[in-house]
Amino acid sequence: MLNDRSSILSLLETRRSGKPRELVGPGPTPEELERILTIAARAPDHGKLTPWRFVTVADDQRDALEALLRQALTEEDPDAVAAKHQTEHDFAHYAGALIVLVSAPVEGHKIPVWEQQLSCGAAGMNLMLAAHALGYVPGWVTGWRTYSERVRRAFCGPGERIAGFIFIGHAGRELEDRERPPLSTVWKRWQPPEN
């Protein structure tokens, strides 16, 4: 039974992302990755539909990922300059583990797709927190690749979409925290309507 909840609070209070392009290896071990994904799968899930999946890209598949991204780039932008192709090369080879978070909602179910997508976001958040708890730095990115039909098909089935590419490594330099919204801007006490 867990009784030191203060360390969990400090974990939540210190979580922050790294920029995937700045991460360094090594990524999680296979056992750690399994643990991270097991925790991610404990996301709240109205209707218990598990409307999300995790697709891991192995280190020795990074060249194949680059080929996919460059093919998609060429189709979307036949005039893409060499620098854009270089960006895809770099992206495909960022250090650490790569997990593609897939939103897999059940269409036509009484649980609205919106709620299922929220559950997917919660799974991503759990994943990030688990990585942080194990001493890693995660970075969640989307970008044009997320919305490319060719890239989507490479990771998703029909009706599914990419929610993000989540890299897990270590910070290459000390992470500075970003400014957080003042609580007063995101919290108000409800006033019931007068009529």
Q: Which residues contact ligand FMN (rule: CB under 6 A)?
A: 16-17, 140-143, 164, 178
Closest approach, Cβ 157 to ligand FMN, in A, equals 20
Nearer to ligand FMN, 31 or 174 (CB): 174
Closest approach, Cβ 192 to ligand FMN, in A, equals 32
Encoding tokens for residue 19? Answer: 């920029």
Closest approach, Cβ 1 to ligand FMN, in A, equals 30
Closest approach, Cβ 109 to ligand FMN, in A, equals 23
Nearer to ligand FMN, 22 or 32 (CB): 22
Closest approach, Cβ 16 to ligand FMN, in A, equals 3
Nearer to ligand FMN, 37 or 91 (CB): 91
The span from the CA of 67 to the CA of 1, in Å, is 48
Q: How many Å from the N-terminal Cα to the C-terminal Cα in the chain?
A: 48
Nearer to ligand FMN, 19 or 46 (CB): 19
The span from the CA of 138 to the CA of 76, in Å, is 28
User: Distance from CA of residue 94 to its chain's centroid?
Assistant: 14
Nearer to ligand FMN, 15 or 62 (CB): 15
Q: Diameter of the chain by CA atoms?
A: 63
Of 23, 161, 137, 186, whose CA–CA distance to 91 is shortest?
Answer: 23
Q: For 167, what's the count of Cα atoms within 13 Å in the CB-facing half-sphere? A: 25
